[in-house]
A and B are shown apart, each in its own frame.
Chain A
Amino acid sequence: MKRAERTKLLIEVGRELALQLAANICEQYDVQEISPPKEGLVMIKMRETAQKSLFYIGEVLVTETKVKIGNHYGIGLVKESEPELSKALAIIDAAYEAQLPETILWIPHFEALAQQLHINQQQIKRSIERTKVNFDTMAT
């Protein structure tokens, strides 16, 4: 699983799972905190559609944590002030970087999260579909 998908699932629908997985790793491995959760900014680079050039639309508040398991570093980066989640994401990232055997066991968890995200998105789509204009039904 790619990192973008993994981090999206954990941030959008897997907060509790992230905290739990990170706690399990901390019980079994020596996790060093390289940089504690700290707030900072990410500047967002945007592609505009008129001339397809790039510009900066603004900054988003993020929380970043860096940890190390053995010789492998992990980074947790999430929008808003989220110290706990940021640290958990960093530990999970380091676990994947270190290719810890636990990560193999996490596959079903991530499959469940992917299913949950799909359900959530379907729920939004099904509701928003009611607001789609059907011109054919307009009175003439």
Chain B
Amino acid sequence: MAYVAVRGGAEAIEASLEHLQYERVKEGAYVAVETLQATMRGFLDQVMSESSLYSEQLAGLAMKQSEGNVEEAIFLLRAHRSTLPRLYYSTTTDARNMFVLRRISASFKDIPGGQILGASHDYLHRLLNFDLLQETAADVVAQKAEFEAIEVPDESELPLENLPKVMDYLRQEGLIREFPENDAEPSDITKESMAFPTNRSQRLQTLTRGQTGTVTSLGYAGLRGYGASHPTVGEVRVGWQSIHVAMDDEDDPYYIGAIKLTEVESFIPVNVDSEDKQVLEFDIGYGACFGQNETKAIAMSIVDHALETGGDTPIHDEEFVLLHVDTIESTGFISHLKMPHYVTFQSKLEQMRTIKKEGKSL
């Protein structure tokens, strides 16, 4: 059977695109990219995390262009990213130096520096606020002024720029395995495709840019029995992370700005062999991602540990996990099923008709 090229859809596609543009403007309403940046924090953070490109400006633009369609916004950003040159690599970024805006632990009540709730949806009742239906620009300005007028302490001694890590205290007690600093250059999955078995840097890079829902579901599956990791969250921190680039002199880098990050350490009890007996220690599952994406980072820490330890269930299977968490790969492959498959389907159809006619089985 030969393939036959056909044409005829160009005008229909052109009209379809015009309809798409019309859908975006048909209500006559307008929203500025700056407004989206200012008011859609969670959406921007998710899109930047999954597209693996930190730019609030571009994420806001992608959101506007895609009409809030997350997978489309990520596709736009990944496509745009592919047109830009990679100019530099940053110096090593360590979230110990994060300017923390929120930091909590589920493992200890009293932690050095304290439980800092910051801004979070966690403490809401999740009731719709119908007042927002009538909200005006003046209301927003008034609410902002009201918050800024709240009395606060004259001085703060909070060391938000160098809060200690909760896990350091368990390490000092010998309850968490100590590792020396490993400065081996990481692999980069955007430069070289993964081959299995993977290394740790490939796994972490794949998970941090993974689809939020998929990473969360895999972490959830791990907790429900499809994995051997049952963590307690040691620390979640969210804040501004300074980024530096060094040219010739590593000791005199350029500061290029700060990005918002979420970082999580989960404590997972494990039995380890020690002097001919089994002792209980904690492993750490690690999660980190762009923006304030706490659920994703916690789930990532569960999946990270599952992939490190191995096991028989799906979330311990690195091929299963790493080849299916990427937004572009999964949505792209699923949505390609909408594309014309006329020839292959006709081929199958012909085959079935012939078999049926001849009364044969496959």
**With A3-B252, A53-B184 known to touch, is A43 a contact of B257 (CB < 8 Å)?**
no
**B235-271: which residues lie under 8 A (CB-CB) from chain A?**
242-245, 247, 252-259, 261, 263, 265
5 contacts between A and B (CB under 8 A): A41-B85, A60-B256, A80-B56, A125-B160, A128-B101
In the complex, the answer to whether B257 meets A56 with C-beta atoms within 8 Å is: no
Give the distance to chain A from B144, nearest Cβ to Cβ, in Å.
Answer: 13
Stretch of A24-32, A99-107, A108-116, A130-138 that contacts chain B: A130-138
In the complex, the answer to whether A2 meets B87 with C-beta atoms within 8 Å is: no
Complex interface: chain A residues within 8 A of B185 (CB): 54
**With A56-B188, A128-B116 known to touch, is A46 a contact of B288 (CB < 8 Å)?**
yes
Q: Is A59 at the interface (CB under 8 A from chain B)? A: yes
Choose from A45, A80, A128 the contact partner of B160 (Cβ within 8 Å): A128
Residue of A whose beta carbon sits closest to that of B148: A127
Most buried by B among A12, A121, A126, A128: A128
Most buried by A among B183, B204, B261, B263: B204
> When chains A and B are docked, how far (Å) is the Cα of A7 from the Cα of B253?
9
In the complex, the answer to whether B114 meets A132 with C-beta atoms within 8 Å is: yes
Stretch of B92-100, B127-135, B213-221, B342-350 that contacts chain A: B92-100
Complex interface: chain A residues within 8 A of B243 (CB): 42, 44, 60, 79
**With A4-B244, A55-B205, A78-B257 known to touch, is A135 a contact of B110 (CB < 8 Å)?**
yes
In the complex, the answer to whether A131 meets B116 with C-beta atoms within 8 Å is: yes
In the complex, the answer to whether A43 meets B89 with C-beta atoms within 8 Å is: yes
In the complex, the answer to whether A50 meets B265 with C-beta atoms within 8 Å is: yes
Give the distance to chain B from A123, nearest Cβ to Cβ, in Å.
Answer: 8
Complex interface: chain B residues within 8 A of A125 (CB): 156, 158, 160
In the complex, the answer to whether A48 meets B288 with C-beta atoms within 8 Å is: yes
In the complex, the answer to whether B52 meets A132 with C-beta atoms within 8 Å is: no
Q: Is B162 at the interface (CB under 8 A from chain A)? A: no
**B180-225: which residues lie under 8 A (CB-CB) from chain A?**
180-186, 188, 190, 200-201, 204-205, 208-209
In the complex, the answer to whether A2 meets B92 with C-beta atoms within 8 Å is: no
In the complex, the answer to whether B257 meets A49 with C-beta atoms within 8 Å is: no
Residue of B whose beta carbon sits closest to that of A54: B186
> When chains A and B are docked, how far (Å) is the Cα of A64 from the Cα of B254?
12
> When chains A and B are docked, how far (Å) is the Cα of A119 from the Cα of B99?
15
In the complex, the answer to whether B93 meets A79 with C-beta atoms within 8 Å is: no
Q: Is A61 at the interface (CB under 8 A from chain B)? A: yes
In the complex, the answer to whether A44 meets B93 with C-beta atoms within 8 Å is: yes
> When chains A and B are docked, how far (Å) is the Cα of A78 from the Cα of B243?
10
Complex interface: chain B residues within 8 A of A49 (CB): 95-96, 165, 167, 263, 265, 284, 286
- Can you list the 7 inter-chain pairs with the closest CB atoms, starting with the nearest? A79-B257, A125-B156, A61-B55, A40-B87, A50-B284, A50-B286, A8-B255
Choose from B95, B119, B188 the contact partner of A43 (Cβ within 8 Å): B188
Give the distance to chain B from A77, nearest Cβ to Cβ, in Å.
Answer: 5
Choose from A47, A80, A121, A126 the contact partner of B153 (Cβ within 8 Å): A126
Residue of A whose beta carbon sits closest to that of B58: A61
In the complex, the answer to whether B86 meets A41 with C-beta atoms within 8 Å is: yes
In the complex, the answer to whether A132 meets B115 with C-beta atoms within 8 Å is: yes
Choose from B156, B179, B188, B289 the contact partner of A129 (Cβ within 8 Å): B156
> When chains A and B are docked, how far (Å) is the Cα of A62 from the Cα of B284?
33
> When chains A and B are docked, how far (Å) is the Cα of A46 from the Cα of B185?
11
In the complex, the answer to whether B57 meets A81 with C-beta atoms within 8 Å is: yes
In the complex, the answer to whether A52 meets B201 with C-beta atoms within 8 Å is: no
> When chains A and B are docked, how far (Å) is the Cα of A46 from the Cα of B304?
16
Q: Is B117 at the interface (CB under 8 A from chain A)? A: yes
Complex interface: chain A residues within 8 A of B94 (CB): 46-47
Give the distance to chain A from B336, nearest Cβ to Cβ, in Å.
Answer: 25
